[in-house]
Structure 1
């Protein structure tokens, strides 16, 4: 269970600013319950995911939700937003326009665990040609993850694809760095979740509109 070793709790004196930042991030994604959230949403594991959201000037729809879990430990909930419905990985990869992978943390995790998951997922699911095309983009994304250091329970992580800009990582609504240009990185990230050897098979099923449990 290397991916979900709980981190030590933060001191009670941790600034309330983090909660404020989280609220802003959830508001931006339409997830903050009772604070202007959408009228239509899918409720999963006690959290509401909006049926639709706006990204990069496009309207995206919720394709599916699921959770990453090891035994009884739940690591995070995830949602996939696309411009049109996709029930297979190939359809998701081929969907044009902006895309979003949204992760809602259920426990504290060191960013290095995400680094390992991304590197392993790319290695397992991408062809040699695809990996070669990531020679600059993947290290840049890994550097952004490492700069985050840790993510905490109730943090909101968005991995967005904007065709005119590339892949943008945000934590609680705040960009973690500059967008990484090109489509190759985001295709690889999708394959981490949806590929032949995904990070979690039940999560893959949920993101593609099937049963997440």
Structure 2
């Protein structure tokens, strides 16, 4: 099944990635809140962007929103499925204070999204909806939905929590 993920022409470009001003997921328009670059050892890895129903500058406002989306645009051939899985496992560890056991079945289901090869130019969109959980899209195609509010919150905290993947990326996604 192919999902319709609209992306109007973007005025914003970051690391050669055009950023849509708005995305429409599950019939819910979400506006670009902020975007930044995830880098490591001076290499750009991906552009991370946050889409929300209304401007959000704090983790709490994002967690309280009925629907938000995080989009990752891969800009480096250095990212492999294995490296992405390792980074996400580390992210869930940090997001749960080192105790991901309560949501381990959801983490395992989510990790399947990153089992296929990842190439430069791939785009992952993670729609986090309070009543549904997280629906993942790869290159615009719906992959899976992982249910659970605790999982949804932990996933968002990977990028926006107290121990984010990268502090400057968190600030940029929150529009600071």
Match of 1:193 in 2: 159
Matched, 1:90 2:60: yes
- The runs of 4+ residues in structure 1 deviating greater than 3 Å are 162-165
RMSD (Å), alpha carbons? 2.2
> CA offset at residue 186 of structure 1?
2.0
Aligned residue number for residue 124 of structure 2 = 157
Task: Note the alpha carbon deviations across 1:15-61, whole angstroms, 9 max, x for none.
Answer: xxxxxxxxx99x8341xxxxxx33x6323233321222222222211
Which of residues 173, 186, 192 in structure 1 aligns to 2:140?
Answer: 173
What is the alpha-carbon distance in structure 2 between the residues aligned to residue 164 and residue 28 of structure 1? 20
What is the deviation of 1:164? 4.8
What corresponds to 2:20 in structure 1? 50
CA–CA separation in structure 2 for the residues paired with 1:82 and 1:104: 17
Query: How far apart are 1:168 and its partner, in Å?
Result: 1.7
Larger Rg over CA atoms: 1
Give the TM-score normalised by the residue count of structure 1: 0.73
Query: Is 1:143 matched with 2:109?
Result: no
Q: Which of the two has greater strand per residue?
A: 2
Structure 2 spans left out of the alignment, 5+ residues: none
Return the TM-score normalized by structure 2: 0.87
CA drift at 1:127: 4.2
Q: Does 2:73 align with 1:81?
A: no
Partners of 1:56 and 1:162 within 8 A in 2: no
Task: Work out whether 1:68 is the aligned partner of 2:68.
Answer: no
**Deviation of residue 102 (structure 1)?**
0.5
Gaps of 5+ in 1: 1-23, 31-36
Q: Which position in structure 1 is the counterpart of 2:5?
A: 28
1:114-133 correspondence to structure 2 within 5 Å: 114-127=84-97, 131-133=100-102
CA drift of 1:137 comes to 0.7
Following the alignment from structure 1 to structure 2, what is the Cα–Cα distance between the partners of residues 114 and 29? 25
